[in-house]
Structure 1
Amino acid sequence: EIVRWNIKVSKDTDLTLRTFLGARGAKKGDLSKFIEEAVRWHVLHRTVQDIRERNANTDPDELQRIIDETVSEVRAERHRKGRAGKA
């Protein structure tokens, strides 16, 4: 589902972005795609920063154990779902 945003940016930002996109042969809709991708990357970056800050005082060995355990659980779940889809 598409949601329409009304945003305001400086003329300099507008010109810089439109020049950037134009130099790459941008088509209609590419401005929206660029903004959506930029927002997703920024949210991911901030999420990673928050997690790093939250775990800054965690014992590295304990943190690795938690990561390994979680990765194993996810892989096992995917493996189960893969087998169920083939049955």
Structure 2
Amino acid sequence: MANEDTTRLTVTFSRETDLALRAFLGAQGMRKGDLSKFIEDAVRWRMFDQAVQGMKARNADIDPDDLQAAIDEACATVREEMWPTPVKDS
């Protein structure tokens, strides 16, 4: 069922992990074809977690109040760009 938007990989891991994973997927009502979806989801979550951990490490020396102020400012800027305040008629 591969198409041009997918890549075929060979994944190797322990027999113990294989059995545990297949038992887990089976208990969730998933079938053999769902293994690829599960692995893709796991890879995405792992990459996201690594990015978050990297950001935490880079910002470890910043005062929490200063960091929160920077986050609040960035969020306010994005909100204003996405949903500008309408000009009211006088």
Q: Distance in 1 between the 2:13 and 2:32 partners?
A: 19
Provide the residue aligned with 1:9 in structure 2.
Answer: 13
1:50 to 54, 70, 82: 54
How far the C-alpha of 1:27 sits from its partner, in A, is 2.5
Which TM-score applies when normalising by structure 2? 0.80
Which ranges in structure 2 are unaligned for 5 or more consecutive residues?
Answer: none
Which ranges in structure 1 are unaligned for 5 or more consecutive residues?
Answer: none
Q: What amino acid sits opposite 2:14 in the alignment?
A: S
Q: Distance in 1 between the 2:7 and 2:71 partners?
A: 36
Q: Relative contact order, CA 8 A, sep 6+: which one is greater?
A: 1
How far the C-alpha of 1:79 sits from its partner, in A, is 1.2
Which TM-score applies when normalising by structure 1? 0.83
How far the C-alpha of 1:28 sits from its partner, in A, is 4.1
Number of paired residues?
81
Q: What amino acid sits opposite 2:60 in the alignment?
A: A
RMSD, aligned CA: 1.6
How far the C-alpha of 1:51 sits from its partner, in A, is 0.7
Q: Which runs of 4+ in 1 moved over 2 A?
A: none
Q: What amino acid sits opposite 2:15 in the alignment?
A: K
Provide the residue aligned with 1:32 in structure 2.
Answer: 36
Could you say which structure has the larger radius of gyration? 2
Structure 1 vs Structure 2: percent identity of aligned residues? 51
- Structure 2 residue matching 1:35: 3-state secondary structure: helix
